[in-house]
Amino acid sequence: MKLLRYGPKGQEKPGLLDAQGKIRDLSKVVADIDGSTLTDAALAKLRAIDPASLPVVEGNPRIGPCVGKIGKFVCIGLNYADHAAESNLPVPTEPVIFNKWTSAVVGPNDGIEIPRGSKKTDWEVELGVVIGKEAKYVDEANALDYVAGYCVINDVSEREWQIERAGQWDKGKGFDTFGPIGPWVVTRDEVRDPQNLKLWLEVDGHRYQNGSTKTMVFGVAKLVSYLSQCMSLQPGDVISTGTPPGVGMGVKPEPVYLKPGQTVRLGIEGLGEQQQKTYAAE
């Protein structure tokens, strides 16, 4: 299944994308696409519904973040060896963990706000993992059983705040609009192998990132297991699993960063696409 949320910001309704690409309204069935809807039992009930029995959503509504009421937005840094190299940093021996604030979360096609004074706002296409069952001290062999589904994430990053100013990476990762998520959650039964997905990103039509999740340093199962050793994961939590090479910071001979008025497009095989316009913070 492909589950989504549509409608004005803050008023999103739950929906399902049918086989013909039409949005079907789920609001008479569930209140939202959130942790309570993403458990195995809740997803099984949704699978039993004939999509043709649900009302078609007419027009072209805004698509919101594909998960509502996110509890934790956990991110993994330097999880592709070639991205670590372009960042002039060693390949990690254990996952590098940081967080995005949930106030950064926006829809997949909402705009990206360039922060005041920013000259180093960057892009990162990433595979998102949505948790469907509480995970604590989970073995790697069973870790994928705790995943509800997968989605596209743009881990937008302000590199000066992230790297050049004292403190943690979180500062450069959590600006408003820096967490586009969606367009939909694709349930795990429809993703045969999360370690064999192509992912890409373009800015103004120029392809900067073109990678595959097969080159991750730590795969999805390892990440879920590892995180569950140092925190419990709850249904509706989101993990952003790192980016392949091709970020603006790594462009040679000179880095390239986002400016107001640009268009960012990105996608992951089988999980959909995003498109954002950049604009200056007021």
Q: Would you state the pLDDT for residue 114?
A: 98
- In a 13 Å sphere around the CA of 214, the CA atoms on its Cβ side amount to 8
Look at strands 125-131 and 238-240 and give their pairing: antiparallel
The pLDDT value given to residue 91:
86
Of residues 219, 197, 201, the one with CA closest to residue 151: 197
CA distance 11 to 14: 10
The Cα–Cα gap between 216 and 213 comes to: 5
22 secondary structure, DSSP code? -
Tens of pLDDT, residue by residue over 96-135, are 999 999 999 999 999 999 999 999 999 999 999 999 999 9
Beta bridge partners of 199: 211, 268
As a whole number of Å, the CA-based R_g of the chain is 18
CB 66 within 8 A of CB 35: no
What pLDDT is attached to residue 2?
98
- DSSP letter string over 247-267? -GGG-SSS-----TT-EEEEE
List the chain pLDDT tens, one digit each, 282 residues: 999 999 999 999 999 999 999 999 999 999 999 999 999 999 999 999 999 999 999 999 999 999 999 999 999 999 998 787 877 778 889 999 999 999 999 999 999 999 999 999 999 999 999 999 999 999 999 999 999 999 999 999 999 999 999 888 899 999 999 999 999 999 999 999 999 999 999 999 999 999 999 999 999 999 999 999 999 999 999 999 999 999 999 999 999 999 999 999 999 999 999 999 999 999
CA atoms of 170 and 115, how far apart (whole Å)? 15
- The helix (run of H) or strand (run of E) holding residue 114 is strand 112-114
Q: Count CB atoms within 10 A of the CB of residue 53.
A: 8
pLDDT digits (tens, 9 = 90+) for 235-264: 999 999 999 999 999 999 999 999 999 999
Local structure of residue 45 (DSSP, 8 states): H
Distance CA 194, CA 142 (A): 14
Predicted TM-score (pTM) above 0.95: yes
Element (H, E) at 226: helix 220-230
Domain ranges of the chain: 2-53, 73-280
For residue 175, the model assigns a pLDDT of 98
Report the pLDDT value the prediction gives residue 167, as an integer from 0 to 100.
Answer: 83
The per-residue pLDDT for 234 is: 98
Residue 95 near residue 74, CB atoms below 8 Å: no
Which whole-number Å values give the CA distances from 42 to 27, 32, 217, in the listed order? 14, 12, 32
Q: Which CATH architecture has domain 73-280?
A: Alpha-Beta Complex (3.90)
Residue 1 CB contacts under 8 Å (≥ 6 apart), including other chains: 16, 43, 46, 47, 186, 187, 190
**How deeply is 252 buried, as exposed, middle or buried, from its count of CB atoms within 10 A (0-12, 13-18, 19+)?**
exposed
Q: Euclidean distance between the first and final Cα of the chain, in Å?
A: 39
